[in-house]
Structure 1
Amino acid sequence: MNVKIAKEAGFCFGVKRAMKMAWDELELNSDIYALGPLIHNKQAVQRYEDKGLLTVDTINDIPNDKSVVIRSHGVSRDIYDKANSNNLNIIDTTCPFVKKIHNIVNEFYEKGYKIIIIGDKNHPEIIGINGWCENSALIVKSIDDVNSLNLDNNSKYCLVAQTTLNLELYNEIVNILSKKLDNITFKNTICSATKTRQQAAKELSVDVDCMIVIGGKHSSNTQKLVNICKEQVPTFAIETKEDLDIDKLNKFNLIGVTAGASTPDWIIEDVISFIESL
């Protein structure tokens, strides 16, 4: 049984930056709150909570004058306003690629454009982006969603995408909307790391007997990697080595491994070592 690892796997720049910023703060002060799970990986989050990080659901759960970590997914403008009014020390780990989308959405919204976001309306990144146009965006996740939009050809539109979106879906939606609307600005805000990770996973899945995708069950970019690999070969989605089915793996000779952007190196290494020991 041999293992091949995708050229791009695991922590992306934004997540790595956010995790370092949060850890550095915890080294100085353990009385820190995170607004939502730091990343979509419960094993990694647990290490930070063991260090003293307190995860809460809303800004109202944080006492005044404390420190709050804004995670890499970013938040809406009103969260910053609330944090400032409560005199909170903001540790802003928002991914620069996500922050760029905030700026685009805010700029075009103030110019009178209607905003369209491609992504999952329940994902924290999308919720945050929508908060920079007063929660007025049209949010679509599929071709069917796009076709059901009630569009006004006399209005101006600006389209952005969730950073982890599949590039093929983005291009399909751009093609449809360019035919429906005369005045629309397209902003391809898919993260470059997402593009390269998805391409690397696709290339590897062609050369192996099966794929293992490591990442959190609630991680959007991880689930997209799973779907990409499933189109080529049998694919197993796991969070840790404990999720592996040895009987199923024994049927394959060459196993490919990739991991979502919120998957720490130590979890990837554990999985690879375990497979190689079989």
Structure 2
Amino acid sequence: MEVKMAKSAGFCFGVKRAVDSVYEQIEQGKKIYTFGPIIHNEEVVKDLEQKGIQVIKDIEELKKIEEGTVIIRSHGVSRDVYELIERQGLECVDATCPFVKRIHRTVEKESAAGRKIIIIGNPGHPEVEGIRGWASTEAIVIESEEEVFQFINNENNDVFKTEEICIVSQTTFNYNKFKDLVEILSKRGYNVNVVNTICNATEERQTEAKEIASQVETMIVIGGTHSSNTRKLYEICKEECENTYFIQTLDDLHLEFSKAASPVGITAGASTPNNIIEEVQNYVRINF
């Protein structure tokens, strides 16, 4: 079986940094919490929970914590979470991806200058919720072409046409979709300052996945079910290779992947541990 393995598959810099920070804190024997899952990979989160790490789901749960260390997830959080941690007298370890922190600083600065904010991304994703929490002016989230036209045609948003707008993006958003949505707004006469905040590693991963998927008969995308960047990889690969599978672990491969057509391409999201990628790769090479 010929296998084309993506070089960019697996932990990105920000994810590795976040996961490493948790394991470093474990060694110190403290009571440790993470605000939200540290990364979007159920296997990693499960391992951390077995080592005593507790996940705080929301602000209300955070209010009940009286002692210990709170680690900020790689996706980042809004400003009010930091303020509450300080008021609670808790130790804070900030594992926010530096590329996400850059967006926080941009949104904080641009909104302080009076500009309204448009975030291109998934409104339900914790990274986007965190970004929105750094705006002191109105912040709108847009994810699709349909939503951008709804925004344009909504009379309540006419004020955006007369004021300066800063556009940022979720770091893992599809780069081509981001450009398309920005172009629609620009052509409609909006005064936009576009800051491309899609992570370079995300762009490279998406470009590589697209190229490999166009060259193979079967494509496997490995990652957590809640991982936005893995979902984007799957969508990109599916457009190039109809026979594309989204799996989380080798167990899913057994269930969904029976007769593979060669060659097979493999890529993985930014929160996928190397051991899972290697298991899948070895299994495909040996068994097909």
Q: Deviations over 1:35-76 (max 9, x none)?
A: 111111111111111122111212442422310010110000
Q: CA deviation at 1:193?
A: 0.5
Deviation per CA, 1:232-263: give whole Å up to 9, x if none: 11100000011114784424121110000010
Q: Which residue of 2 aligns with 1:190?
A: 198
Q: Deviations over 1:157-188 (max 9, x none)?
A: 10000000111111101111112234210000
Q: Distance in 2 between matches of 1:106 and 1:192?
A: 22
Counterpart position of 2:219: 211
Is the 1:159–1:187 contact (alpha carbons within 8 Å) kept by the matching residues of 2? yes
| Equivalent of residue 98 in structure 1, options 72, 96, 100 | 100
Distance 1:29 1:173 in 2: 48
Unaligned runs of 5+ in 2: 152-156
CA distance in 2: counterparts of 1:73 and 1:182, whole angstroms: 29
* Residue identity matched to 2:49: E
Does structure 1 residue 236 correspond to structure 2 residue 245? yes
SS at structure 2 position matched to 1:90: strand
Residue 135 of structure 1, CA deviation: 7.7
Tell me the secondary structure at the aligned position of residue 276 of structure 2: helix
* One-letter amino acid of the counterpart of residue 249, structure 2: T
Change (3 A) 1:91 1:64: same
> Is 2:271 the counterpart of 1:253?
no
Q: In structure 1, what residue type is equivalent to 2:207?
A: Q
Partner of 1:67: 69
RMSD, aligned CA: 1.5
In the other structure, the counterpart of 1:53 is 53
Quick one: distance in 2 between partners of 1:186 and 1:276? 44
**Kindly tell me: are residues 206 and 249 of structure 1, through their superposed partners in 2, closer, same or farther at Cα, counting changes over 3 Å?**
farther
The corresponding residue for 1:262 is: 271
Matches within 5 A, 1:115-264: 115-134=117-136, 136-149=138-151, 150-152=157-159, 153-233=161-241, 234-245=243-254, 248-264=257-273
In structure 2, relative to structure 1, the CA distance for the partners of 1:96 and 1:22 (3 Å cut) is same
- 2:27 counterpart residue number: 27
Is the alpha carbon distance of 1:138 and 1:274 closer, same or farther for their aligned partners in structure 2, counting shifts above 3 Å?
same
Q: Give the match's secondary structure for 2:207.
A: helix
Which range moved further: 253-262 or 179-188? 179-188
With 246-255 and 214-223 compared, the bigger mean Cα shift is at: 246-255
My pick for the range that moved more, 223-232 or 50-59, is 50-59
- Cα distance in 2 for partners of 1:171, 1:151 equals 22
238-247 vs 113-122, which deviates more? 238-247
| CA drift at 1:270 | 1.0
1:181 and 1:205 map into 2 onto residues whose CA distance is 37
SS at match of 1:231: helix
Alpha carbons of 1:25 and 1:136: their partners in 2 closer, same or farther (altered >3 Å)? same
For 2:154, the equivalent position in structure 1 comes to: none
CA contact (8 A) 1:75 1:129 kept: yes
The whole-number CA distance in structure 1 between the counterparts of 2:25 and 2:138 is: 35
Provide the TM-score with structure 1 as the length reference.
0.96
Q: Indicate the SS of the match to 1:169.
A: helix
Q: Which moved more, 1:73-82 or 1:29-38?
A: 29-38
Q: Which of 85, 108, 121 is the aligned partner of 2:110?
A: 108
Identity of aligned residues (%): 45
TM-score, structure 2 as length reference: 0.93
Aligned-residue offset at 1:130: 0.4
User: Does structure 2 conserve the Cα–Cα contact (< 8 Å) formed by 1:30 and 1:52?
Assistant: no
Following TM superposition, by how much is the alpha carbon of 1:32 offset from its aligned partner in structure 2, in angstroms? 0.1
Alpha-carbon separation, structure 1, partners of 2:76 and 2:219 = 31
Distance 1:165 1:151, change over 3 A: farther
Higher mean displacement: 259-268 or 142-151: 142-151
Alpha-carbon distance in structure 1 between the residues aligned to 2:259 and 2:137:
50
2-structure distance, mates of 1:222, 1:15: 13
Residues 116 and 137 of structure 2 are in contact (CA less than 8 Å); yes or no, is this contact kept in structure 1?
Answer: no
Cα drift, residue 151 of structure 1: 3.6
Q: Relative to 1, partners in 2 of residues 1:274 and 1:251: Cα closer, same or farther, differing over 3 Å?
A: closer
SS at match of 1:207: coil
User: How far apart, CA to CA, are the structure 1 residues paired with 2:179 and 2:227?
Assistant: 22
* Counterpart Cα distance in 1 of 2:192 and 2:92: 35
